[in-house]
Amino acid sequence: MTINILIVDDQPGAYKELFERLAAIGVSRESVDLEQSGYGALRRLEVKHYDLVILDIALPYRPEDSVDPEGALEILDDLVDPGLAHSPAYVLCITAFESLPPAVERYLDEHLIYLIRSSSANAAWIANVVRFVENVQKVKVQEQSVAFEKDVCILTALRKPEFSAVRHLDWNWSGPKVLNRVMSYVEGSFVSDSKTYEVVASTGARMGMVEAALVAARMVERFRPRLVIMAGICAGYPDETAIGDVICSSPVWNWQSVKRIVSAKGDVDVRPDADVIDIDERLRPLAEELKEDSATLNSIYGNWQGEKPNSQLRLHLGPMASGSAVLADGSFEEIRKTHSRKLVGLEMECYGVFAAVRSIAVARPLVLAFKGVCDHGNYLKSDRYQRYAAYTSAAVSAAFCERYIGKIAEFP
């Protein structure tokens, strides 16, 4: 089986025999691209998906630069980021050196990246690369046998008011069905451009990242959706959001993941140490377009018949941090100063859902969150607008799906 391979090495002549060996296992020369610099590799990855990137550790960033013994570190973060539209499925590092720079060794160990030592005097390394490629081929065959089954999966943390708002969407919902001993779900469908798309939805038994991650993992493994959306309510930054506004989270992280450092004087310094997960870049322009569609947002606002604020509905695309605490003490400002001055939302589940989706190896769905602002996390916090915020979250999620699911279904 042919796969797409990108080799990044400033000594391309060392791979002549490898090309011949790859052709013997079904990987044609036309399926293998060569780049001699880190910059060139990143430009390739902007326009093409590769199943495997073979990366030399000692590499110039640009063709005219000198070889950097740690040059691979300049691009490895981009290669291993599953949120990038064209991030490769696998990365294999190559080096002709007996020992690695400590920073490189730590990086490869932390990210579980396989390393093969090459040698001009011994061709055994070529055989090792071929075996690695054969394993990638086998995995790709297995992955192609697993197809997406549903188009959309919508998740919430609370049965009321969040899941009930989703159930009120005009999506032909079924009655509850049993997934396992502790979970149930509903099925539905909607029409977009004269085509019917299938939806499943479920909710957790309690709030929090752990519960949300478990629910997401079970639903994705069972139904293989193309798109997962986390809906529900959140706290919004008061200077930038109004009650009922919807936040499309990009990126997400656990704001309570920090490093506490004690100085020689006994002073405690708290530093962010979070794993940050962003949305797939192909989703960003779609969310941006919906954000500017005032007619759709005004219609959603006008269709709510219950109590609502006087401000018109807006959609925000910005950072959302998850934590295990319900905040009503005004600490939003402090979290914003510590983590990100652009932080617009705080809630308790998104990072768990994004992390669960990231862990899916086969038929991994895209993931988004649309959360409605029900309060500002300060002393004015109340339940007054929770139903309205849950409604705006569900309605914006539906608008996104009905407008863009056809495009998402065509993503490679």
Per residue in 87-110, pLDDT (tens digit) is: 788 899 999 888 888 999 999 988
Rounded-to-integer distance, Cα 68 and Cα 241, Å? 46
Give CA angle at 365 (144, 77), nearest 5°: 95
What's the confidence (pLDDT) of residue 297? 97
What DSSP character marks residue 67?
Answer: P
Residue-wise pLDDT for 203-253, tens only, equals 988 889 999 999 999 999 999 999 999 999 999 998 999 999 999 999 999
Q: Helix 386-409 crosses helix 284-291 at what angle (to 10 degrees)?
A: 130
Q: How far are the Cα atoms of 28, 91, 121, 273, 284 from residue 32, in angstroms, in the given order?
A: 7, 14, 24, 38, 30
* pTM as predicted: 0.74
| Tokens describing residue 259 | 């490093």
> Residue 353 in 3-state DSSP?
helix
Burial (0-12, 13-18, 19+ Cβ within 10 Å), 25? middle
**Number of other CB atoms surrounding residue 231 within 10 Å:** 29
Of 192, 254, 239, the closest CA to residue 373 belongs to 239
Domains of the chain, first to last: 5-144 (3.40.50.2300), 150-409 (3.40.50.1580)
Rounded-to-integer distance, Cα 171 and Cα 79, Å? 39
- Answer whether 284's CB lies under 8 Å from 250's CB: yes
Q: What is the mean pLDDT of each run of 10 residues along the chain (412 residues)?
A: 89 89 92 93 88 93 90 86 71 90 90 86 86 90 81 96 96 94 93 96 91 95 96 92 96 82 71 84 96 97 94 95 76 79 91 93 90 84 90 98 96 84
Rounded-to-integer distance, Cα 147 and Cα 149, Å? 6
Of 51, 53, 99, the closest CA to residue 77 belongs to 53
**Number of other CB atoms surrounding residue 115 within 10 Å:** 15
Residue-wise pLDDT for 120-134, tens only, equals 767 889 999 999 999
Rounded-to-integer distance, Cα 38 and Cα 57, Å? 10
Residue type, 126: I
Of 308, 318, 314, 255, the closest CA to residue 284 belongs to 318
Q: Which residue has the tokens 């405690």?
A: 268
Of 121, 231, 114, the closest CA to residue 171 belongs to 231
Rounded-to-integer distance, Cα 199 and Cα 158, Å? 19
Rounded-to-integer distance, Cα 23 and Cα 30, Å? 10
| Tokens describing residue 224 | 């293989």
What's the confidence (pLDDT) of residue 363? 84
